[in-house]
Structure 1
Amino acid sequence: PTLAYICADESQLLSLVTAVGNENVSVNSYCSVEPGAPYNTITGTMRLDVDGNGCDGSDALARFVKLDVTGSDGQGSVYTNADGIYTIYTGAGDTSVSTSFENSNYFDLVLPFSHNFPLVDGSTFTQDICLSPSGPHPDLEVVIAPISPARPGFEAAYRIVYKNKGNQVMSSDTPAVFFNFDANHMTFLESDTAPEQVSAGSLGWSYADLQPFESRVITIAMQVNAPTNPTFPVNVGDHLAFNSQISPIATDDSPIDNNFDYNQTVVGSYDPNDMYCIEGDVVAPDQIGNYLHYVINFENTGTDIAENVVVTDEILASQYDINSLQVVNSSDDVDISVDGGKVTFFFHDIKLPIGGHGNILLKIKSNGALAEGDSVLNNANIFFDYNLPIATNNAETLFQLLGLPDQQIDNAITIFPNPSHGMVNIKAATNIQSVQVYDVQGRLLQTSLRNGNDVSVDISSQQTGVYFLKITSDKGIKTERILKN
């Protein structure tokens, strides 16, 4: 028989790869979640005491929370899973554990703890962690994650992921999660959660009892127009604009991530195992040091069920802040660990069927020391059972000023009042598709999807100064200079 796969501990991999000397033999440590060598275990469940009477089974699970670990094997990190459970494999001696939050001021100080194992004998130490809220902090976020590309004449799929980042249970009896799209160039087909509000280019849902640390997903199927559409054809290279919002906004501690804009380029073909920066290929320099969102999609293109799937992502410290990594959502239960700059997502016992899909949505801040003209690059390796890894594309994002593209001008568009204190009215002879607000350096600040020839846009949140409105109608585009008082 021909040697195809060797499973070993991480410390043995380099010597084995050298000894085998065959690039067609897969050598990795992903045959099991647990180490192959003897080990001890520290584990527990993390919860948030939302009712102030101590943590019990009714309290919120702290999902995808990072724990930093220092022990005899060095330093690293693990994350709690979807059930709030963390698991640390360690050797003999002292192992110290501390929690790390995106917003540490939302919770009372959690003291680090440590445990000493005199020897390696398979022992398990259980330490549950009970968090307490530090004052009320309502904080929601929403992200649009593409899980398949937009292709002319085909269906496209999107996930609306909304998460409670705060420390309060959140609800809305009326539609408060919205998905806005270009109704001229694509049609809503279905969603796994039926929308309670449907209008031209907009869908809305309510939500109830969204727990702290909890994320929820709405999966949406859209039909993209074909190039043969007589009125609104879609071709490869076209751009589709989307927007998602979640309320309440006025009382949110961080309202900037209650609104998410996404611009998708229409393609002709695609690789189902890919990595995608949702912010795009070009981002304004003033976004350096802020979060970038990435989707890693994987599909079992093999001939049998995949028992396990492992995704690895090597994060370059020169380009990203590895300590800022946050896991927003995962399609399946996953064990997450960080060793240096290597992030490992282990989907143990996923049993992914032939043609089955999965994905990870994460966000990470770019290195604050980057400058205009610099770029960041991210990619991943995907392991299906004992096969050689599938390398994704390189998701590269350049930091540079955004220009306003030249397009056919629609001179029938008028705006008023100008100057404006906030609301700007826009009229056109044909249907207005979208309104985008740029600053004087050409950076995109707002996107509003519209469907009508008499619309308005609110710029009251912008500072006093000069801005440009880019208005796209069925006839063309017009860019107007406006003064915000």
Structure 2
Amino acid sequence: MAPLSQYINNWTLTPPNFTVNFPTQASPFTQDFCLTPNGVVEDLEVAVIPLQQARPGFYTDYKVVINNKGNQTASGSVTLDFEEDFMTLISTNPNAGNTPSNQLSWSFSNLQPFQMEEYEFTMMLNTPTHPTNPLNFGDILIFTGIVTGTGSDITPADNTMVLDQIAVNSYDPNDKICLEGETIDPADIGEYVHYMIRFENIGTASAVNVVIKDEINLAQFDISTLAPISSSHEYYTNIKDGNLVEFVFEDINLDFNDATNDGYVLFKIKTINTLVAGDTFDNTAEIFFDFNFPIITNTETVTVMSTASVGESTDSSIKVYPNPAKSFINLSTSNSLESVTIMDINGRTLSQTNFTGNSTDQSVSIENLSSGIYFVTIQSDLGQKVEKLMVE
């Protein structure tokens, strides 16, 4: 046996491995290792974690976690950018700098190898009736965390993390979300995505043990890259049968009172590098409270598609309204409309309508669409615009 870590190559282990024979040797068996740095390596990582769903009009708690994956003590700073038009800062812990007003900042020093540091903050989200910046179901809130050290980081890609959080109404307290959102860019194929599994004891007695089982689809993910990042309580991880991951919260004694009855685990894993634009990858988890039947989370589906153009345009005069919509959408532009294409979040084309003449205004029926999120591409004789559409 040998220790397994995503950054073990930064160290020389002595001994490199060991052998233990059960039941000849007593259980549990403890083996100490001496870790010697391989050169000087700075390697910091940041994660932005939503501790609750984003419910318009409510307080929502968040956490920024930095991790020293290098082999030297680290010092530096971490910043968190947020959309101040759609939320109000309530508190930070520890106290954060707030200049500019849409950014939080903290400094850290002497962070030891393998050590993590956490920073918490609370936001009050706007209501749907906010007079200037309403926050509605389906809107996406963007948070950007950046950690900066004092040297040259060997993996700068994980010095930045963008959280896309979708605003919801009522929600299931036992759920699974991909923190990158419902889409990733083709350029991010083969890179890490972050999954958060939340659980809540809504029974009438404390849960002694909680076990989360997550079957990883090896046709979509590289199981060798799975790395736990953060959690609400102490736990350990098992991988069985090659792709069944277990997060075991032993003796958690999770309360059933509303203020103290929830928890989470956050991990990251790389998608396989053979995915292409239009592909989807999905994941579902089972949550076991003691010996009860499991609670099955939602299936979190992410689509590989270019989202760089969403909200941007080569014809800025194009407008789509109402949004959210129920039975129809209106299209308007200063130029001649040529076509409109509606796709679902899996990248499948659901409808395409071509327009003739020089019309600058059109109405399109969406009565056949189920409630959910769609992408609408509007083409004019000048250019195009891609909009995210929420259907109620």
Instruction: Mark yes or no: TM-score above 0.5.
Output: yes
TM score, norm. by length of structure 2? 0.74
Which letter does structure 1 place at the counterpart of 2:138? G
Could you say which residue in structure 2 is the equivalent of 1:114? 19
TM score, norm. by length of structure 1? 0.61
The aligned runs of 1:229-378 (5 Å cut-off) are 229-248=130-149, 251-339=152-240, 340-354=242-256, 355=258, 356-378=261-283
Q: What's the offset of the Cα at 1:198?
A: 4.7
Distance, in Å, in 2 between the alignment partners of 1:406 and 1:183 is: 19
| Cα offsets for 1:68-126 (capped at 9, x unmatched) | xxxxxxxxxxxxxxxxxxxxxxxxxxxxx022332343112552211234x46854433
Aligned residues of 1:316 and 1:341 also touching (Cα < 8 A): yes
Unaligned runs of 5+ in 2: 318-384, 387-392
Could you say which residue in structure 2 is the equivalent of 1:67? none
Could you say which residue in structure 2 is the equivalent of 1:387? 292
Q: What's the offset of the Cα at 1:323?
A: 0.9
RMSD: 2.3
- Is 1:129 the counterpart of 2:33? The answer is yes
Aligned residues of 2:74 and 2:149 also touching (Cα < 8 A): no
Distance, in Å, in 2 between the alignment partners of 1:248 and 1:126 is: 35
Distance, in Å, in 2 between the alignment partners of 1:98 and 1:332 is: 25
| Cα offsets for 1:172-195 (capped at 9, x unmatched) | 4xxx11111111110111133221
| Cα offsets for 1:111-162 (capped at 9, x unmatched) | 2211234x46854433112211101101111111112111221122211111
Could you say which residue in structure 2 is the equivalent of 1:52? none
Distance, in Å, in 2 between the alignment partners of 1:361 and 1:182 is: 23
Could you say which residue in structure 2 is the equivalent of 1:142? 46
Q: What's the offset of the Cα at 1:384?
A: 1.2
With over 3 angstroms needed to count, the CA separation of the structure-2 counterparts of 1:240 and 1:284, relative to structure 1, is same
Identity of aligned residues (%): 39
Could you say which residue in structure 2 is the equivalent of 1:160? 64
Aligned residues of 1:249 and 1:255 also touching (Cα < 8 A): no
Distance, in Å, in 2 between the alignment partners of 1:289 and 1:329 is: 22
The aligned runs of 1:425-440 (5 Å cut-off) are none
Aligned residues of 2:75 and 2:149 also touching (Cα < 8 A): no
Unaligned runs of 5+ in 1: 1-96, 412-477, 480-485
SS in 2 for 1:361: strand
SS in 2 for 1:148: coil
| Cα offsets for 1:31-88 (capped at 9, x unmatched) | xxxxxxxxxxxxxxxxxxxxxxxxxxxxxxxxxxxxxxxxxxxxxxxxxxxxxxxxxx
Count of aligned residue pairs for this structure pair:
313
| Cα offsets for 1:375-401 (capped at 9, x unmatched) | 211111111122211111111111122
Aligned residues of 1:308 and 1:349 also touching (Cα < 8 A): yes
Which letter does structure 1 place at the counterpart of 2:249? F
Which letter does structure 2 place at the counterpart of 1:125? F
